[in-house]
Structure 1
Amino acid sequence: MNLSDQLSLTAKNNLHKTAYVFNGEETDYQTLEGSVTKFASSLQKLGYKKGDHIALVVGNTPHFIIGMYGAMRLGLTVIPVNPIYTADEIAYIVNNGDVKGVITLDILMEKFEQMVQLIPNVEHYIVGETTPDYDVTQSSLSDKAFSFTKLVYGGSLELNRPTLDDDDTAVILYTSGTTGKPKGAMLTHKNLYSNAKDVAEYLEIDAHDRVIAALPMFHVFCLTVALNAPLVNGSTVLVVPKFSPETVFQMTKDYQATVFAGVPTMYNYLLQYPNEDEKDLSSIRLCISGGASMPVALLEKFEQRFNVRVSEGYGLSEASPVTCFNPLDRPRKAGSIGQNIVNVENKVVDQDGNELPPGEVGELAVRGPNVMKGYYKMPEETEASIKDGWLYTGDMARMDEEGYFYIVDRKKDLVLVGGYNVYPREVEEVLYSHEKISEVAVIGVPDPELGEAVIAFVVSTDDSVTEENLMTLSKEKLAKYKIPKEIRFLEELPKNTTGKILRRSLRDQLASQQ
């Protein structure tokens, strides 16, 4: 089974049930299934065949859903790309990914017109219309440009579907590239389908659920948890074009949403939203947090304010992405990413790959049907990441006696102070415990005496909070070598499009000031 075939089966059993809602318009499963097939047939007429690569450079719109499922139905490999990337960033992915065609939006065509020389091998631009008066024939790329809408409506429901093998590459997700050029994680049909199915089962997502998709769909967290998993079981996806607390509260009220998935920053924004009259999540049965570790203080404040359970999990692009979640049939453990989900194994290992006993910190390794088959055109990086069937995540973790895992920090974010290990999250949790601190990020910087020193960046909700206040708090709860050398106040912390705090930007900021 694969996602494309599963969509056909779900549609057959739920013809008139709403598959997704976008800008107030509801689309049922029968219509979605027809659009996917017709789009696939139009791609076929353009000369696309199984194994070709197509980039998906759109935001949270129906174009993403139809484009991805339509391309996969034809056996193409889909490469989702962040639409706000620069021309150089997009060009690298398109060229490295051997992309034949680009699915994008009219509002992004000017960018592609300006960068056409950077991506000479692209044969087609399939343009989704967001405004009624857009005309692809007016584009300077008109000889290569096609209307997304016309391809859907002009397609055929008679499609000779290719056979999709479990190990065929369905999607290539390019990682953020924090340590160099982005790497393309090759996810197979088996990877994506198994993880969507297992996540839906583990979190009990079914046809009664209405799931808010406010995370960007090009990111693997949203792709699996808020799109693929709901569609596998016939849920309704509530598509949010761009996250804002106001939109989430309104969508929840209008459609009685039952599941919300977000990164910790989103939960912080929802909690800090000033209009108390609109802050209602009473229909939500489950909030899912991932993408980064959620501070315990934030989790507890959110649950208390909204009377809803927040289940924290863990994943990474290379694992499609989910490997752990806090189970729903027992109280969740604050600060834990939970236990193994169905069909997936996690373990904590030392530098030699030996499994460590409960309580000891080591690198988290993962094994299961969700683990990628490798990095595209990067055999050496693949060999370094996957050893004996286990994916080495680069995250430092520990496991307790009951099999719950805890992320200590990214391996690369470890700070060495005078030979002692300092995990930024441990320091961040202490600073987050101050009731007037809303955001924290801790990094290590070179220090002539100790090798490295701890620097903390904080965002406060009250100007009366001082560095002295926070230093006093740190001295009360942290060993001397863990105490920040300096605490800096910012109006906000730098984040990527999914809301993850960018420590690298903070390091660059410090370096530029020296």
Structure 2
Amino acid sequence: MVSLNSESNCLGTTAEPKLVAISHFQLLNGARAVATSFGIKKDQTLACALPLFRLPIFALVCLSPFLTDSRTIFPEPQPLPRSLFASVKKYRCSTLLTNGAALRLLLKISETQRVKLDSVEQILLLGDRVSKEALRSIQKQADNVKIIAVGYMLTETGSIPIMGDATTDFTRMIGRAIAGYETHLKPLSGDGEVKPGQLGLLLVRVYYGSTFMGYAPDTKGKEKWVETGDVARMDEHGSIEIVTNKEDLIYDNNNGLVEHWNIERLLNQSDLIKGVQVQLFST
């Protein structure tokens, strides 16, 4: 099975469009692994507030009903469906699939309209770390939420191979590899081992028992690991923190790494600043 890959991962970084070869085995087992890890079970109803053009989302919301006897509600084909609250209320949706940016806006709308998501018990956020403000809003407006998880999408696996649960620091980490997948950090330069807390290039192993077939026209690949293009840290428990994309790395004149993400994170703490991006200009 071949899908158009216009974004290589889930954290806002983009790559050149590519055709990626993915097997039915990888899609089905990947969707099953995600549904199991997140706890999607029989008779649950999932409301999807994300567009289906991302393959990991498509696989999860379209295959879960067949794999678990659950039900998927897709209010509208847009990131912020206007009828989301009505759909959640009408179908008593217990699970909400969205992302951090959309959730913040949805919670503001629900607060203005004085709507509470009483039936929602689980929220899965894809593509973002979760702000402390969003966590407080969830607790305030969705009283029954028991599980909040974050997930890292990867088109090359057709799934969400990394997920965080209630034990994860959502403001920093994206979680650990779920059953069926593995993660590994490769040194930024040269060989060697990346120790816990150090920076490295994130690699994800495709679903057990399969290989990454590659990008068209060469779809006979035998590699088991996919290079995500992200620079990350891993703690001693295997939890991953995405720091930046390797294309955004900045080195000074002495070939020293400039940790620009620390500057961005510090400046972003101000309520007066809406967004920060450090850029390098040659002189």
Determine the structure 1 residue equivalent to 2:259: 422
Q: 1:378 to 1:219 in 2, by over 3 A?
A: same
1:347 to partner: Cα distance: 1.2
Could you tell me which runs of 5 or more consecutive residues in structure 2 were left unpaired when the two chains were aligned.
9-13
Larger Cα-atom Rg: 1
Determine the structure 2 residue equivalent to 1:341: 178
Q: 1:187 aligns with which of 3, 6, 22?
A: 22
Q: 1:395 to 1:210 in 2, by over 3 A?
A: same
- Map 1:72-83 to 2 at 5 A: none
SS in structure 2 at match of 1:348:
strand
Q: 1:198 aligns with which of 19, 27, 33?
A: 33
Q: 1:275 to 1:285 in 2, by over 3 A?
A: closer
Is residue 202–residue 230 contact of structure 2 (8 Å, CA) maintained in 1?
A: yes
SS in structure 1 at match of 2:281:
strand
C-alpha separation in 2, matches of 1:371 and 1:301 = 41
SS in structure 2 at match of 1:261:
strand
1:198 to partner: Cα distance: 0.5
Aligned Cα RMSD in Å?
2.7
1:278 to partner: Cα distance: 4.1
Is residue 57–residue 159 contact of structure 2 (8 Å, CA) maintained in 1?
A: no
Q: 2:159 aligns with which of 313, 321, 327?
A: 321
Is residue 191–residue 371 contact of structure 1 (8 Å, CA) maintained in 2?
A: no
1:310 to partner: Cα distance: 3.0
Is residue 362–residue 397 contact of structure 1 (8 Å, CA) maintained in 2?
A: yes
Structure 1: which amino acid aligns with 2:117? L
Question: What is the count of residue pairs matched by the alignment?
Answer: 268
Is residue 187–residue 320 contact of structure 1 (8 Å, CA) maintained in 2?
A: yes
Is residue 34–residue 161 contact of structure 2 (8 Å, CA) maintained in 1?
A: no
Is residue 315–residue 323 contact of structure 1 (8 Å, CA) maintained in 2?
A: yes
SS in structure 2 at match of 1:215:
coil
Is residue 211–residue 236 contact of structure 1 (8 Å, CA) maintained in 2?
A: yes
Q: 1:421 to 1:302 in 2, by over 3 A?
A: farther
Question: Is the deviation greater in 341-350 or in 271-280?
Answer: 271-280
Q: Does 1:263 align with 2:85?
A: no
1:171 to partner: Cα distance: 3.5
CA-to-aligned-CA distance 1:140-163 (integer Å, 9 cap, x gap): xxxxxxxxxxxxxxxxxxxxxxxx
Structure 1: which amino acid aligns with 2:150? E
Q: TM-score, normalised by structure 2?
A: 0.82
Determine the structure 1 residue equivalent to 2:243: 408
Q: 1:236 to 1:190 in 2, by over 3 A?
A: same
Q: Which has the higher helix share?
A: 1
1:280 to partner: Cα distance: 1.7
Determine the structure 2 residue equivalent to 1:375: 215
Q: 1:405 to 1:176 in 2, by over 3 A?
A: closer
Name the structure, 1 or 2, with higher relative contact order (CA <8 Å, separation 6+). 2
Question: Is the deviation greater in 313-322 or in 244-253?
Answer: 244-253
Could you tell me which runs of 5 or more consecutive residues in structure 1 were left unpaired when the two chains were aligned.
1-169, 449-514
